[in-house]
Structure 1
Amino acid sequence: MFFKPYMRSLAVAASLAVLAGCSSTGGTQDGSMDGTGAAGGVGTGTAGSGQVSGTGMGGNGAGQMASTGIPEVRTIYFDYDSDAIRPEFESVVNAHASYLAGNPNARVILQGHTDERGTREYNLALGERRAGAVQRYLSLRGVSPSQVEVVSYGEERPAVRGSNEDSFAQNRRVVFAY
């Protein structure tokens, strides 16, 4: 009968479709695709972690990945209830601005995050203000607005779980996701 082989093929195809749909593309919340973004903490300077204090970052000010030219440090941090870019992270944002201005086809998503304090609505707005502040900074340095997208996750995607100041500090951030 023709019906049995057809059903068997259909069952195999459906199984493969389900498996393909469940597969992960990788990546982490801080925008790194190699899984190293969760290592270290604020100010540790761990290479590839995206979490440095903005000092001692090598000759070009923010370190760049050799193969792509995309700046290695992809996370900047903010003070409590603030959307002002801290001076120690200006060199990081400048490195991203240089990369984007020199690569007009490159696109970045600025992901704004907050700690868990405050209402959900307030934190979404604060995350958007933080990402917007970075977007304005990039724009002032010659980056085209069409290259930048702003997204706020508020408190919904914490980098670190916990209810202490160290955890809060690591969650108040903007991530450059290429």
Structure 2
Amino acid sequence: MNRIAIALTVSSALALSACNRQPPEVTPDPPQDVVANPTPTPTPTPMGPQPGSQTHFADAMMGADTIYFDTDRYNIDNEDMVALRRQAEYLLQYTNARATVEGHADERGTRDYNLALGERRANAAKNYLVSLGVPEARLTTVSYGEERPVATGSNETAWARNRRAVTVMITR
């Protein structure tokens, strides 16, 4: 009986070992229509300045981001209207863009007078932009008076360059 038990055990072991599945040594190629590990396509990085940024705005305006005023004046003339229309078109195209209109004065006059004049200049430019459809909530104003000149010197050329309103994009 011992032999029969040994024979049954050996034959059972052989039968079980025949059912034991080993992984193949070489895996088959995946089907051609299925990608094994899809690689996400990278989002292209935009080249150049970001729309709505100060650099993008300044590039688009090519100098029309600044308007100039006569001595002791804050009225918007025809040349200013053209520049402000370009600014308004930009702001209406880039609806997330926000801007500050900076008012400036030349060095003549008292500090308080020049701050008030810069404020009137900034508000005149802002109000014109609003009249062209730019939402008032997207515009702020600030007056620097004579504190931030772009031209140094005590002559008409320097003073003319410093009597201005400049539109600057606000980055968030």
The answer to whether TM tops 0.5 is yes
> What is the SS of the residue equivalent to 1:137?
helix
CA distance in 2, matches of 1:86, 1:131: 14
Structure 1 segments unaligned to the other structure (5+ residues): 1-31, 35-47, 51-64
Does residue 91 of the first structure (1) align with residue 98 of the second (2)? no
User: Structure 1 length normalisation: TM-score?
Assistant: 0.60
Amino acid at match of 2:115: L
Q: Deviations over 1:55-113 (max 9, x none)?
A: xxxxxxxxxx3xxxx42321110000000012112111001111112222101111100
**Is 1:126 paired with 2:117?**
yes
1 or 2 for the larger relative contact order (CA 8 Å, sep ≥6)? 2
Q: How far apart are the structure 2 equivalents of 1:100 and 1:125?
A: 26
Structure 1 residues 162 and 33: CA distance shift in structure 2, 3 A: farther
Q: Which residue of 2 aligns with 1:41?
A: none
Conservation of the 8 A alpha-carbon contact between 1:110 and 1:150? yes
1:31-64 residue CA offsets vs partner (Å, 9 max, x unmatched): x759xxxxxxxxxxxxx9x7xxxxxxxxxxxxxx
TM-score by length of 2: 0.62
Is the contact between residue 77 and residue 86 of structure 1 (CA under 8 Å) also seen in structure 2? no
Q: Does 1:111 align with 2:107?
A: no
**Max Rg structure:** 2
Could you tell me how far apart the structure 1 residues matched to 2:147 and 2:167 are? 17
Structure 2 unaligned runs (5+)? 1-53
Measure the CA separation in 1 of the matches of 2:61 and 2:158.
25
1:144 to 132, 135, 138: 135
CA–CA distance in 2 between the matches of 1:177 and 1:139? 16
Q: 2:61 aligns with which of 67, 71, 74?
A: 71
Aligned residues: 115
